[in-house]
Each structure stands twice: as structure tokens, then as C-alpha cells.
Structure 1
Amino acid sequence: MGNMSMEQTLTTAAEPSPTEDRQQIDKVRPIPRISIQAFCETEAVAAPIQKAGSDRRMAKAHLKVQMGGIKAATEHFQSAPTPNLVILESRLAPLDLLTELEVLADFCDPGSKVVIIGHYNDVALYRDLIHRGISEYLVAPISLGDVMTVIGELFVAEGAEPLGRTIAFVGAKGGVGSSTVAHNVAWSISKLFSTDVVLADLDLAFGTANINFDQDPAQGIAEALQSADRIDDVYLDRLLSQCAEHLSLLAAPSMLDRTYDFEGDAFNALIDIAQRGAPAVLLDVPHVWNEWTRTVLSRADQVVITAAPDLANLRNAKNLVDTLVKIRPNDTPPSLILNQLAMPKRPEISASEFTEPLGLEPLGEIGFDPGVFGNAANSGRMIAETDAKHPSVAVFQHVAHVLTGRGEAKKAKKPSLLGRLRLKS
């Protein structure tokens, strides 16, 4: 059994709320490729451990949950190697628990870590277990956050640099302005907080980030994907185009000389490398649905859906929200931005009617203003550069604050109907 040198304090706490549990899980970095086996005695403990296995941060790990507790583990490991981590639940009294662990120890590999989940809040037992090489002792009941946290503490290298957060932007329908929102939010984050931001345009065929930032890089995301097996920080840095002091662009080729068909995990290595070099990595995801876009959205720390207020957008947004909540069960729901509101002569669904079936409040609402947005796009600049007082600038700044966890931006004065917006976190 592995050793644990750092002394820890045994505590029991009230069961956290779903929000508190999510906040705890959000702090966990992706778990490396390890094997985990859990032997439980109660469904109340088995359920959160099983749920952890489906979390996106555990995508590389292999987790198996069985019932039977320490006795089942002892029987199993008599003829099978022990994994990187063994999680054991026991309702035994302290002395009986120690006796069973002595029997199990004969079949455990020295390099395996062991976590015990007991039902006795006993400090003396805790100290005895740590002295015997147990990695951690938790007192039931446990939450999903407890499981994720203890695995992260055991297998994520101490002192490792924190990974940047990935924020994926996707449109509920083509042409709703998701890319424009992503680009302006990326620019706002870099300017407001002087924080390094990497913006990756994942629409290789029709991406517009290079045009919107007036860039014409010779290389970009296509080269990064072609060299996925050897990409590192240095190589990625050569492919990035500097758009502003703290904003770098991984541009799409935007050419049709070939097709861009990818495997489901094609972008994983690239995104992982980008996260190591920037606190914020914004992903401009095209409005298509295939294995790689599903994977990118499922792995992102946050997802932002941009939609216009019509029926097709509502249907698509509803499908997106339902799917993302299902494949990201332990994450906060996607954020919603309503764009192109109050378009002249177009019947539209009100914000309240649009958001009610989604169960979401819009993070921001942006009025339809083709003149201002068209002028910015044609000049290769962001809205804040062409019209700093435009109401949408306040929306982009608010979104930047919320997505980076910096609190809310100062709300703008009451806007005109054309640029009406409502800021909500």
C-alpha cells in the first residue's frame, strides 16, 4: 500500500448542495490514465463513485465498481493484480476493520494507493490507517465531489501548473453570430484582465477569425492537427498569430482544397497543450454535429450557446442543452446568449418564452445592428474598437466577467430598443 506523508485532519461535514458539489468538482484537474477499482458495501457509497467514472475529467481513467467490501477485494486480488487505486468501503468497527485490512495487505502491490470509506468518525482510527500506509480515510456519507477531490489529490502532480479553462462557443443554428460573440468575448477577456487568451477557430473550412482580426497567418490549426503526435508548447507557439497584447489566434485555413474529416479525439491533444500555456482557451466550434464536435463540447469546462429568437433556434438549443446536460452530468448547464434581437419585420419569440423550455436564464442579450457589426467585421476589428459605447460591448464584458469567474461587470445604462440587453449571471 502506498504512503501518505502529509498529515491531514479528519472531518465530517453536512452533505453539500449540488452547487457546492459542482464547485468542488470544478477545481479537480483531469485525471491521468490510471486504473481504479472500488469495493463497496452500500449503494449510497457506490453511487457517487460510479458517477465519477462518467465525469469528463475521468475520461482517461478506468474505473470499476463492485459490491462486497474488503472481503470481496481480498478474494479478487488473490488472483488479479491490484490497480493504481483501490477504494474500499467498510461498515466494520475500527478493530475489525484493521484486522481485515491486514489480510488484504498480503495481496496488495506496494505501489497501489488505498482509500478507505468508513462509517466511524474516529481520529485514532484515521491516524492508525495513515500510519499503515492508507492514502486517505473518508467518513460516509460521501459526495461525488469528495470522490473526485481525493482522486485528484492523489494522482495530479503536486505543484503542477494549473490548466487554463476551456470555453466552447457554438451556435444553435448557422448564422446566429456565435463566432462573432466568441471573438469579441476573447478580446474582452484579454483587455479587461490582461490575461493571456488563446482563441482557436475550429471551423477549418469556413472559419472567420482570421478575417475578424485582420490576420493572414501562413500556418494555424490545420498544421497543429497534422502534427498532433509531436505537438508541444514550442511548436504551438509558432503556429499562433498575435492579435492583441494578450490575445493569440490559432487560425483556420478557410480553404476548400481538401475535406476536413476528423476522428472523435482529433482535437484533444491540441486543446490540452493550449491549456498549459494560457489561462483561457476559447474554442469557436462550427455548427455541425459529429463525433469530434461532440467530444470537444463534452470536454470543455464551459459551453456557451448562441441563439436567435426563432422556432428553429429554440428547437436546436433545446436539443443541445438536453444532450450536453446528459453527457456532462456533473457540470453546470450551458450558458445561453440571445443574439440578433428586434430584427425589423421578423416575428420572434420573446426572451422569456424562449428560455422557459430550456430552463436557462440568458447570460446576455444582444440587439440586431447589422451596421455596427458589419462595419467591425469588414474592418477586421472588434466592436469595442469601432464603437466603444455600443450596448453589445457591455454584454461582451459581462460575459467575460462571468465566464472567467471574475464577478459581474458594471451594468450599462438603460439601452435603446435597438440595442436592448439584459445582463444576468
Structure 2
Amino acid sequence: MNNLAYDSESELEATVTDGEMAQLNALRPIPRISIQAFCETESVAKPIERAGDDRRMAKAHLKVHMGGLEAALEYYGAAPTPNLIILESRNEPKELLESLQRLADVCDPTTKVIIIGHYNDVWLYRELVRAGVSEYVVAPVSLADVVAIISQIFVDPDAEPLGKSIAFVGAKGGVGSSTIAHNVGWMMSTTFSSEVVVADLDLPFGTANINFDQDPAQGMAEAVFSPERIDEVYLDRLLAQCSEHLSLLAAPSTLDRAYDFDTDAFAQVIDIAQRSAPLLILDVPHVWNGWTRKTLIQADEIVITASPELANLRNTKNLVDTLKKLRPNDKSPYLIINQAGVPKRPEISAEDFAEPLDLTPLVTIPFEAQLFGNAANNGRMLGEMDAQHAIVKSISEIAHVLTGRSEIKTKSKSGLAGMLAKLKTRK
């Protein structure tokens, strides 16, 4: 049945009813997600805009556009899609289904879609769900309807965690794993306008606060040492806002206490953080103990950073082999070769480094002391220092692969006779 739009501006500005208030009060806060709505009528655009001002939507980034499907297609032809698209359409059922195919062609696979239509049609609802649409709602909608629908998708307590956790770990100390982790997180947040949380797990010596030029009074230590208090509200208080779409759970970087942790010490913090943002970057220190082992086992993706020399190759080989045993149903870790081409240092070529690991390097990043040094000394990201630099483009490539927006480029292998035997003799 075709539903009629609101007839007057007074109806658009109507206050929340008691029933809507009760509906809103029963909802948990919406996590850090990016939402864009494309509407055809003011009667739908207004309640969505008002929903963006509700306290439960405080962490979400919502933008409302007019123009419906055609405006969305034009917009996403040159921009990444957000975590959620809300699309109003007055098209008839069959026409709506056909037109949505064009939207699917420009949408990232992880983007969820809510359709607000004007036909109360069970067949249409079933076909839309079958096509991958998260929800179909018949107009008119209220502020409470909008928040409730988003909540059903992203705050379901029985659903899988919203966020994808990506653990970065160095094969050896000083190979730049933390720097790459921070820059990849920043690149994801700026390039894709996606909400990212960077968690620095190196409590005594973490560098995220320096790299992001932040000095928060609270952070990871409070979360880990107060497990009975940790929930989404408490975690939100501990996060430092680095940019519009990037938050930091900083390490204290002090030595005023011993940081001895149980195996499960970080598990609850990581779980809560994953439910708060679509992307969680875990900066894991180069140590091997119960909690780092468990963190790597449970991460959705693992990125190993290594420099091209023998000790790094041995350590990377040990890490890759161990993680394959601990994660038999997961794909192999990603490999980044960093600091390649240090003057006068004997090095292993990227191809020879990767062959015994049976991995293709995600990227090989050359040694560039000036770019990295200037960025670190100024508390800036590499992309802020020189957006056109080749290394920044490599960081962007990493971000695209880790978010599923592109695939790793494979290269042909070269021989490495006797290297594994050499490693064994040097142990």
C-alpha cells in the first residue's frame, strides 16, 4: 500500500511522544559508525536528522543528503561507502529492486543498507532481504524508528562483534611495526571515513601517544586494571579523539609499576572495543607471553612487520609457523617488509625473504629516515607530512587490502637455496 507523506511542517517538527521516549530509553548507544542517508522527501529526512542529535547517536557520524538513489550513485562514484547507507525510494517494488543493483555495484561488501520505501509489500521485503538489504521500512518514520532500526543492526547483543580486529606485531624490536600500525589506522579513518580505534598494548613503552601528539590522562592502563568497570560507556571515557574518525586507547608509557598480566587481561577490553567501532587496530608489543599469544590467536587479521635481515627472517618464520598451528582455520598473517635499503647494511632481498615463509609481502617499504623522523618529531602521520610520497601510497595500499577493498599483489618467487638450513645452524 502506498503510504502518504507528512502534510505539514508542524508534523515534521513534532516532539517525541511518550511511546517513542520509552522506545528510545530501552536502546543502548549506537557505536562509532559512519552513516549517510539519501532521502527523497523532507518527511523522511527530518526525523533522520533529528535522530542524529539524539544522545544515543552521539558517537555515530551521520550525514543526510537529498536526491535519493541517483544522488547516492553519483556520490559513491567518487567516494567510499560508509558503514551504513539509509536510502529512501518512492519507486514501485520491481523498479526499486532493479535500481538497487546499480547501488550494489558501487558499495563496499561490508556496507549495510536500510531502505525506506513507500509500499507496504511483503514480497518486496523478502526480495530485498534476499538481495542483502539489512532492513526495509515503510514510510513515514519517526526519530525513534530510525534509532531503533540502526540499533537492531549494530547493537544486537547476540550478534558478532561489529569491529574487525587487526593485530600488528614486529618480528623484532625496532622494525617499525607500531609506526606502520598507527599510520594504517589513520589512513583507514581518513580515506574511508570509517571509525577506527587504535589500541596501544605496549603499556610501558608505547609510542601511539607521541605519534598522534596526544597526552590523555587515562587510557589502556585504566581499562586493563579495572576489568570490573569496563563497558562501552567507560571505554568511551578512556578514548582520546585524534581526528574526526580516529580514537586512541593510549598506553601510559611510564615505568611506575610492573606490567604483569594474566592471559585474559586484554580480552574483555578488546571485545568491548570491537563492539564500539568497525575497525580496531591492535599495536602488539614484541614480546611472547600468555596475553600477547592469546591476543594474536583471537585477532581477525595479523600483520607481521620485519626488516630484511637474518634474525628477522628466523623470527618471522617462527611466528608464521606457530600462528598457523594456533589458527588452523584462519589465513596466514600478512607480511610487511620495512626499512629496506639501509645504507651499507647487508640485506636479504624481499623475494628471498618471503620464499621460505610461503608468503607474498603486502608491501616493501624503503628506509626513509627523514620522512619517518620528521613525522615522529612533529606528532604527525606520514600522510600529513607528504600525501604524495611513495611510502604513503604503500600505506594506503595496506589499508585497502586489510579492509577488503583490494587484494594483495602476487609476485613470482625466486630461489633461496640453503637459507632454512643456515637458520637452523645459527639457532
Would the alpha carbon gap of residues 159 and 288 (structure 1) be closer, same or farther in structure 2, given more than 3 Å must change?
A: closer
Could you list the structure 1 runs, at least 4 aligned residues long, displaced by more than 6 angstroms after superposition: 156-159
Secondary structure at the counterpart of residue 199 of structure 2: strand
Map 1:111-190; keep pairs closer than 5 Å. 160=159, 162-190=161-189
**1:327 partnered with 2:326:** yes
Give the equivalent residue in structure 1 for 2:283.
Answer: 284
Check whether the contact 1:336–1:363 (CA below 8 A) recurs between aligned residues.
Answer: yes
| SS class of match (1:170) | strand
**Residues 171 and 161 of structure 1, relative CA distance in 2, 3 Å threshold:** closer
Percentage identity across aligned positions? 69
Question: Is structure 2 residue 207 aligned with structure 1 residue 197?
Answer: no
Offset, 1:211: 0.2
Deviation of 1:230 after TM superposition, in Å, equals 2.3
| 1:312 aligned onto 2:348 | no
TM-score, normalising length: structure 2: 0.58
Letter in 2 for 1:295: K
Residue in structure 2 matched with residue 214 of structure 1 by the alignment = 213
Counterparts of 1:162 and 1:241, CA distance in 2:
22
What secondary structure sits across from 1:323 in the alignment? helix
Q: Give how far 1:161 is off.
A: 6.6
Which letter maps to 1:391? A
Q: Give the Å deviation of 1:231.
A: 0.7
Tell me, in whole angstroms, the C-alpha distance in 2 between the residues paired with 1:399 and 1:295.
24
Structure 2 counterpart SS, 1:320: helix
Please tell me the root mean square deviation across aligned C-alpha atoms, in Å: 1.7
Alignment of 1:268 onto 2:263: no
Question: How far, CA to CA, are the matches of 1:263 and 1:158 in structure 2?
Answer: 26
* 8 Å Cα contact 1:169-1:303 kept in structure 2: yes
**In structure 2, do the counterparts of structure 1 residues 409 and 299 end up closer, same or farther at CA, with 3 Å as the change threshold?**
closer
Contact map agreement 2:362 2:408 (CA 8 A) in 1? no
Residue type at the aligned position of 1:370 = A
In structure 2, what is the equivalent of residue 347 of structure 1? 346
- Aligned residues of 1:398 and 1:408 also touching (Cα < 8 A): no
1:216-253 per-residue CA deviation (whole Å, 9 max, x = no partner) reads 00000000011112211000000000111100000000
- Per-residue CA deviations over 1:304-347 (Å, capped at 9, x if unaligned) read 00000000000000000000011000001000000001111101
How far 1:387 moved relative to its partner?
Answer: 1.0
Distance, in Å, in 2 between the alignment partners of 1:388 and 1:244 is 17
Which digits, 9 at most, give the CA deviation of each residue in 1:163-191, with x for residues without a partner?
21000000000000000000000000001
Shift of 1:157: 6.7
Q: Is 1:298–2:297 an aligned residue pair?
A: yes
In structure 2, the residue matched to 1:404 is: 403
Alpha-carbon shift at residue 159 of structure 1 (Å):
7.6
Verify: 1:244 aligned to 2:224, yes or no.
no
Task: Indicate the SS of the match to 1:277.
Answer: coil
SS in 1 for 2:275: helix
Secondary structure of 2:248's counterpart equals strand
Aligned to 1:33: none
Sort the Cα spacing of 1:255 and 1:395 in 2 relative to 1 into closer, same or farther, 3 A: same
Kept in 1, the 8 Å contact 2:171–2:306? The answer is: yes
- 2:349 aligned with 1:368, yes or no? no
Q: CA deviation at 1:160?
A: 3.4
Does the 8 A contact of 2:161 with 2:271 survive in 1?
no
Given the alignment of the two structures, is residue 390 of structure 1 paired with residue 403 of structure 2, yes or no?
A: no
Change over 3 Å in CA distance of 1:244–1:157 after alignment to 2:
closer
Residue of structure 1 equivalent to 2:133: none
User: Could you tell me how far 1:408 is from its partner in structure 2?
Assistant: 5.2
| Structure 2 match to 1:379 | 378
Aligned equivalent of 1:233: 232
Task: After TM superposition, give the deviation of residue 409 of structure 1 in Å.
Answer: 9.9
Distance in 2 separating the partners of 1:350 and 1:260: 38
For the residue of structure 2 that corresponds to 1:244, the secondary structure is coil
Residue 390 of structure 1, CA deviation? 1.3
Output the CA distance in 1 between the equivalents of 2:297 and 2:407. 26
In 2, Cα distance between equivalents of 1:407 and 1:170: 22
Q: 8 Å contact 1:339–1:368 — kept in the other structure?
A: yes
Gaps of 5+ in 2: 1-154, 410-427
Instruction: Report the Cα distance in structure 1 between the residues aligned to 2:157 and 2:287, rounded to whole angstroms.
Output: 39
User: Structure 1 residue 352: deviation in Å?
Assistant: 0.9
SS across alignment from 1:200: strand
Cα pair 1:397 1:409 within 8 Å, conserved: no
SS in 2 for 1:282: strand
Could you tell me whether the CA contact under 8 Å between 1:401 and 1:409 is conserved in 2? no
Partner of 1:9: none
Corresponding residue SS for 2:242: strand
What residue in structure 2 maps to residue 5 of structure 1? none
Instruction: Give the AA of the match of 1:301.
Output: D
Show CA shifts across 1:237-272 (max 9, x none).
000001111000000000001110000010000000
Q: Name the SS for the 1:336 alignment partner.
A: strand
CA–CA distance in structure 1, aligned partners of residues 198 and 192 of structure 2: 16
Q: 1:338 maps to which residue?
A: 337
Query: What one-letter code is carried by the residue in structure 2 that aligns with 1:307?
Result: A
Distance 1:382 1:350, change over 3 A: same
- 1:158 deviates by 8.9
Shift of residue 196, structure 1, vs aligned partner:
0.4
Q: Name structure 1 gaps, 5 residues minimum.
A: 1-155, 411-425
8 Å CA contact 1:169–1:182 kept in 2: the answer is: yes
1:378 and 1:190 map into 2 onto residues whose CA distance is 22
Distance 1:218 1:180 in 2: 22
Contact persistence 1:207–1:254 (CA under 8 A): yes
Distance 1:162 1:297, change over 3 A: closer
